[in-house]
Structure 1
Amino acid sequence: MSDDQNRETETAETEEMVAGGEAGAEQAELEKLRAENADLKDRYLRLAAEMENLRRRTARDVQDAKSYSIAGFARDMLQVSDNLRRALDAVSEEAEGELKTFHEGVELTERSMLGALERHGVKQISPKGEKFDPNFHQAMFEVPNPDVPNNTVFEVVQPGFVIGERVLRPAMVGIAKGGPKEPATSAEPGPPNAQAEKDA
């Protein structure tokens, strides 16, 4: 082989090595860009999920604020309602004839107040005859009664109130003791409710 042919062969090999190196560099750069793309896509999906969670959490907080913002005011109004009930209970049957107009006015005022509270999500619970539930009832005393199932609300001393699904004030009750046990049921008990259905 002549020197010229050797030089040409070496040049061709060098060019092939350079071309191969450039192709390898291009392949490495392509792989790097693909990895960056996958990383950016992953970050985007995570950020989108976080934003969706934040949107849901904010919507839930706004709904809770709307539903429960009047809880303090409603609690204070319950004291007024209790006083109206005491005024009605204080009028004896004999005096009711003389104070009939007064009695009817106080009764109307009490109904109006309870109606206004109900329009704002505050509902009365008067659980007489229902199974005692410590989440909604406060036991004040026990009444021995073999005719009524054990742990049944036998008497309501003071009705309770709920706002939405939260207890504003538990019902103060007397419960029956000594009667037969209630049969076990497979269905989950819902919240007690004598006056209105549970909020959706």
Structure 2
Amino acid sequence: MSDDNTTPDGSTGPDDRVDPQAEPQPQSAGAPSEDGGTADVDDASELIDAEGPDVELPETEGLSADDEAILDQASADLVAEMRQDMLRAQAELVNFRKRVERDREANRDVVIAEVIRAILPALDDLTRAEAHGDLDEGPMQVIAQKLRSGFDRFGLTQVGAKGDVFDPKFHEAIVQLPNPEVTVNTVADVIEPGYVLGERVLRAAKVAVSVPA
């Protein structure tokens, strides 16, 4: 004979049934969980302080008189060395500026000399035309005067004149003429005049030289 609390499917009575709508009962703090672990603890005092305790550094002991003297001397030496470096740099800068200015002037003189040297053949033509009387009047006389005035502004000077003492720096001897009346080599005639720009000889004068006989 079967028990009255037994259902036809073999389950127990209504007291053993689980109501799916029933709320689960909360577990008490510290009670073991279903997976065998323990529940979380909300007490903040049990948390680990990640920063750890404050560490106080020991106070630095004062320097001795000898150490302070060494530091003062090192500082003075460093300041003196930096001052010397600064003065040296200033002197180098001044010398550099002077060198640049000197090179600029030299380059300017070279350019002017090359330009004038290229125009010397035209100046020779004017000189020969003047010797033949072709520049006594007319527009060519005005052109020759303006051209020579422009050369004078740059410091162009003509060298080589009859009667000058022969100087190999400014004269080029084309012909030597023995002459008992001279005691030193003397320019007897100028074949082609020379020109000097400042201290630079653009072209030596081609001359005939009288030499002592």
- 34 and 67 in structure 1: CA distance in 2 versus 1, 3 angstrom threshold: same
Does residue 86 of structure 1 match 2:128?
yes
Greater relative contact order (Cα 8 A, min sep 6): structure 1 or 2?
Answer: 1
Q: Deviations over 1:68-99 (max 9, x none)?
A: 4222221121111112333445x5xxxx7xxx
Does residue 144 of structure 1 match 2:178?
yes
Q: Which amino acid aligns with 1:77?
A: I
Q: 1:160 aligns with which of 173, 185, 194?
A: 194
Aligned-partner Cα distance in 2 for 1:103–1:88: 7
Q: Which amino acid aligns with 2:186?
A: T
Structure 2: segments with no counterpart, 5+ residues: 1-60
1:63 paired residue number: 105
- 132 and 40 in structure 1: CA distance in 2 versus 1, 3 angstrom threshold: farther
Q: How much has 1:159 moved relative to structure 2?
A: 1.0
- 111 and 144 in structure 1: CA distance in 2 versus 1, 3 angstrom threshold: farther
2:41 paired residue number: none
1:49 paired residue number: 91
- 23 and 127 in structure 1: CA distance in 2 versus 1, 3 angstrom threshold: farther
1:198 paired residue number: none
Aligned-partner Cα distance in 1 for 2:193–2:172: 10
* Correspondence 1:28-47 to 2 at 5 A: 28-47=70-89
Q: How much has 1:104 moved relative to structure 2?
A: 3.2
Does residue 169 of structure 1 match 2:203?
yes
Aligned-partner Cα distance in 2 for 1:27–1:133: 73
2:212 paired residue number: 178
1:116 paired residue number: 150
Structure 1 consecutive aligned stretches of length 4 or more whose deviation exceeds 4 Å = none
Q: 1:131 aligns with which of 150, 157, 165?
A: 165
Aligned-partner Cα distance in 1 for 2:92–2:105: 20
Aligned-partner Cα distance in 1 for 2:104–2:79: 37
Q: How much has 1:103 moved relative to structure 2?
A: 5.4
Aligned-partner Cα distance in 1 for 2:84–2:172: 52
Does residue 104 of structure 1 match 2:137?
yes
What's the TM-score, normalizing by structure 1? 0.64
What's the TM-score, normalizing by structure 2? 0.61
Does residue 23 of structure 1 match 2:56?
no
Aligned CA-pair RMSD:
2.6
Q: Which amino acid aligns with 2:90?
A: A
- 31 and 71 in structure 1: CA distance in 2 versus 1, 3 angstrom threshold: same
Q: How much has 1:167 moved relative to structure 2?
A: 1.0
Structure 1: segments with no counterpart, 5+ residues: 1-17, 180-200
Q: Which has the larger radius of gyration?
A: 2
Asked whether the equivalents of residues 160 and 170 of structure 2 are also in contact (C-alpha less than 8 Å), the reply is no
Q: How much has 1:150 moved relative to structure 2?
A: 1.4
